[in-house]
């Protein structure tokens, strides 16, 4: 049985819940899957895995530190593995700016693969989760100005929380990923 490792970093939970969505599909496709929150567990080696999926949330135009550190640490070995990257960010689902998703794809995925000289089999760009209950003080004013637009476009999943991800799209991406590596 092929083995898959999903490594993620998250700030507000979008990348975490996305990373938790992926294993069910991969398991249905015949893979043995391990999911690791890179902030809580360090991965010493990746030799046993056939597929590596690395995901991150985006805040202030940056990946979370732990998955970035994982890419740095395992850069050489990742070039010999089947690799997929994904990010969760609000730009992926911003319908008011036509180029937002394409710019996010280029900046957060394509430039990241170029930086580490990686050749992933799949790149996933998924929406984010806006949690107005946990907005850092330095971003509160700017994000509050965006709240009416977000609230008009997306349903509140709980008070002050808006999930802009397409879960069916994430599942389709994962199924296509599994088919690419078999």
Residue 162: name the closest of 177, 176, 147, 174 by CA. 147
Burial of 20 (0-12, 13-18, 19+ CB in 10 A): middle
Calculate mean pLDDT across residues 143-160: 89
DSSP states of 17-28: HHHHHHHHHHHH
Please state, in angstroms and rounded to a whole number, the distance separating the CA atoms of residues 1 and 182. 11
Q: What is the pLDDT of residues 28-40, one digit of tens each?
A: 999 999 999 999 9
Of 148, 150, 146, 145, nearest to 164 (Cα)? 150
Which domains occur in the chain, in start order? 3-128+166-181 (3.40.50.360), 129-163 (no CATH)
pLDDT of residue 34: 97
What's the confidence (pLDDT) of residue 75?
96
């Amino acid at each position: 049985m092929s083995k898959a490792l999903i490594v993620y970093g998250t700030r507000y939970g979008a990348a975490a819940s996305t990373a938790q969505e992926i294993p069910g599909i991969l398991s249905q496709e015949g893979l043995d899957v391990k999911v690791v929150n890179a902030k809580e567990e360090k991965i010493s080696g990746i030799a046993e895995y056939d597929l590596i999926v690395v995901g991150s949330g985006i805040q202030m135009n940056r990946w979370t530190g732990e998955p970035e550190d994982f890419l740095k640490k395992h850069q050489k070995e990742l070039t010999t593995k089947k690799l997929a990257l994904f990010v969760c960010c609000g730009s992926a689902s911003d319908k008011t700016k036509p180029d937002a998703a394409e710019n996010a794809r280029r900046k957060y995925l394509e430039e990241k693969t170029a930086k580490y000289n990686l050749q992933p089999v799949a790149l996933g760009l998924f929406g984010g989760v806006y949690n107005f209950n946990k907005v850092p003080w330095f971003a509160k004013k700017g994000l509050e100005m965006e709240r009416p637009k977000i609230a008009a476009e997306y349903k509140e999943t709980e008070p002050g929380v808006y999930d802009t991800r397409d879960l069916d799209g994430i599942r389709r991406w994962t199924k296509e990923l599994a088919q690419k590596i078999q």
